[in-house]
A and B are shown apart, each in its own frame.
Chain A
């Protein structure tokens, strides 16, 4: 009896998901645990609670390939262009148990991600409410991936525009590197400059072109 129901349900769900849409993110059990949404007064417990939140956010972002989140916890950019960002399930809210994280606690969680785990960065350090980049893949890894690809395909020494790197598909970038948001790409490129792997050609205070060395 029970299996019948499960089966019919499976058919239903597979049909409703648009082919373009990725699999929905399955939230872990803890997402339905009410105390998760309240900042715990006990500091040691709170530390662990923040860990839980960080894991959740990183997993969520990785799943949807979301690269940045707004202060409210809504995805700002994603590599997956077919995703409708405003239709993604919200991280900080669980309607089935009627709980959501308040703004104060959200900023604490972000602070933890940025300062403690170094898995995120503020988009604008001076204006923290603009949101964060979420490095579910570390920045250095992004950089080395990109450089390796350029190196392997013999495109070092060529000058590209940011637009070419992010939006066009002429470079033959692998799936994982495609469609990165320009602001995110600039962060990646800046980190590569420090390693001496790229040169940025500045035009009127903006990046006009990039040369991989």
Chain B
């Protein structure tokens, strides 16, 4: 069975960085990385960068962008670092979660919907049992018994649905003592065993029927019903077939929406941005065959430049844990606003001195709990009051800052910060050796979306430095670490080597460094562009003034009906705005224009104006 399908294509932006999904952010980046499928190298994917985000592990090829691919963290169960050994570089082994692959393959298949529901119900949490590949049912069973599984079982006495984590072997050895959470009666082991095995082998129709006696509602032919209508959801607990718009089962009241949404989620994860990309990447292995040690599917990330494997591994594992936790909170499995009270409670209970027996003892106990409750409630209300006061204070302060803030936000909108999409922030640590490359790419992204808005746009490096740092504080708050001039200069010098769509241009005369878009021949054309703009401007003014002139006959006859007479040139500011250059760039460019003789100057006490040279 092939696990190559875990690799998904990614989209790449102009600045040679992967395009992240919404809410996705970089955690870790490293250069000089190759990837393996099992034991063998994946061809043409041996020199790249690895990006760890909170959703994916992205391999970004340094040579061919289209070779880049990613693995969703949901497909990975855990990572394991492998140290350097002789000539082999340190690696991180990432074990795949087998079940997800299988279910993704079957997702389109209607027959399996009921299985999927069962599966999903069971595998939402930690490691999920996979529908066993037909060849090796024994091995799958053994793997089943190895990991603790969430098993939902119904109490035979009170028919309460219990959920517990345990393995088959634990059950046999009596390592787990099961007890109904509702009535406290322990179930019989053979009865539980049924639940342990049943969900794993549900691909068999027999097993489904096997399960039915244990459930209260006998829904024979439910699977056929499912086949016929997609708009129904079978309750995972009682198998009652509910209407799709219901969130809870009509009979037993267990959640339905989760299973449905979960299924949707897995679907969306399997095929990201469905239409534009084909869901698979063509991957060739060096050895031609997929082979795994210990019969567990895994991929490997090799750190050619050495080091970092432990850090990467830790980050991957925490990222996976985070995803699990998120999933759990989404399911409502976490008691969100719960507060630990044991510290307060315990001493109070223990100070209940000699716990008396009998009715008086119970009364004392009751009294104590009531008191603790009272204290807790009082405390919390008092805290709440304090919080409200603080809140009012803060509101007052923020009110006093309002005038300042407003001005600022105006400036920002003027500076077109608010217009475009937000660039994902840079999350590489300054110590890492890829930092300058990443900074360079990030700068390019920033320029692309904010500064170089026009084809003709230019910005001096000084302005860019200031604006970029300002942008960092704007987008990431005041705690952000700013970029130092040294780092900035290094990043800027890398534009060429990284083949970014921008370049640095130097004005020979003043030594002014500007950043421009990389485009052929455009920069020699500036003179012509400026000329065109000035001419247009003059025409516009002239046509305006001719109308005025007609009204003002004195003027008209003294100076003759001249167009030139009223022409007013453009000043630096107007030209800068037109081409979105900073002023010193415009001055520089205008000097070039004057040098070439296409533009003439008018210096006056009110400013310097530029005209097209039509006369001389």
A-side interface residues toward B, CB under 8 Å?
2, 5-6, 8-10, 13, 26-27, 29-30, 32-35, 37-38, 40-42, 44-45, 48-49, 52, 96-99
**In the complex, B562 has a CB within 8 A of chain A:** yes
Given contacts A6-B557, A35-B611, contact A99 B604 (CB under 8 A): yes
Contact A41 B601 (CB under 8 A): yes
Which residues B508-532 have CB closer than 8 A to chain A?
none
CA distance A138 to B403 in the complex (A): 74
Place the interface of chain B in its size category. 20 to 34
Q: Cβ of B603 < 8 Å from any Cβ of A?
A: yes
Sample of 5 more A-B contacts, CB < 8 Å, known A26-B560, A33-B611, A45-B597? A29-B560, A33-B564, A34-B568, A34-B569, A52-B616
**A9 & B616 in contact (Cβ 8 Å cutoff):** no
Task: Give chain B interface residues in 578-616, CB to chain A under 8 Å.
Answer: 594-597, 600-604, 609, 611, 613, 615-616
Are B557 and A45 interface neighbours, CB within 8 A?
no
Alpha-carbon distance between A6 and B558 when the two chains are bound, in angstroms: 11
Interface centre among B567, B569, B601, B611 (most CB of A within 10 A): B601
**Residue ranges of B at the interface with A (Cβ–Cβ < 8 Å):** 550, 553-560, 562-569, 594-597, 600-604, 609, 611, 613, 615-616
- A33 and B559 alpha carbons, distance in the complex (Å): 11
Complex Cα spacing A146 to B603, Å: 45
Q: Which residues of B contact A42 (CB under 8 A)?
A: 594-597, 600
The answer to whether B553 touches A32, judged by C-beta atoms less than 8 angstroms apart, is no
CB distance from A210 to the nearest CB of B (A): 44
Contact A98 B604 (CB under 8 A): yes
- Whether A52 pairs with B565 at a CB distance below 8 angstroms is no
CB distance from B541 to the nearest CB of A (A): 12
For A49, list chain B residues within 8 Å (CB).
Answer: 600, 616
Distance in angstroms from A94 CB to nearest chain B CB is 9
Measured CA separation A8–B554 after assembly (Å): 10
Top 7 A-B pairs ranked by shortest CB distance?
A48-B616, A32-B565, A34-B602, A29-B562, A35-B600, A35-B602, A5-B553
Min distance, Cβ A79 to any Cβ of chain B, angstroms: 26
CA distance A5 to B550 in the complex (A): 9
Q: Is the CB of B553 within 8 A of A6?
A: yes
Specify which chain A residues have a CB less than 8 angstroms from the CB of B611 in the assembled complex: 33-35
- Across the two chains, which residue of chain B brings its CB closest to A97? B565
**What A residues does B560 contact at CB under 8 A?**
26, 29
A9 lies within 8 A of B557 (CB): yes
Inter-chain contact B557/A34, CB cutoff 8 Å: no
Q: How far is the CA of A62 from the CA of B578 in the complex (A)?
A: 45
Q: How distant is the Cα of A90 from the Cα of B408 in the complex, in angstroms?
A: 51
CB-based contact B597/A30 at 8 Å:
no
Interchain CB contact under 8 A, B555 and A96: yes
A6-B553, A6-B557 as given contacts; A35 in contact with B601, CB under 8 Å: yes
Q: Are A38 and B562 in contact (CB under 8 A)?
A: no
How far does the alpha carbon of A98 sit from the alpha carbon of B605 in the complex, in Å? Answer: 10
Could you tell me the distance between the alpha carbons of A32 and B611 in the complex, rounded to whole angstroms?
Answer: 13
> How many Å from the CB of B3 to the closest CB on chain A?
71
Query: How many Å from the CB of B238 to the closest CB on chain A?
Result: 90
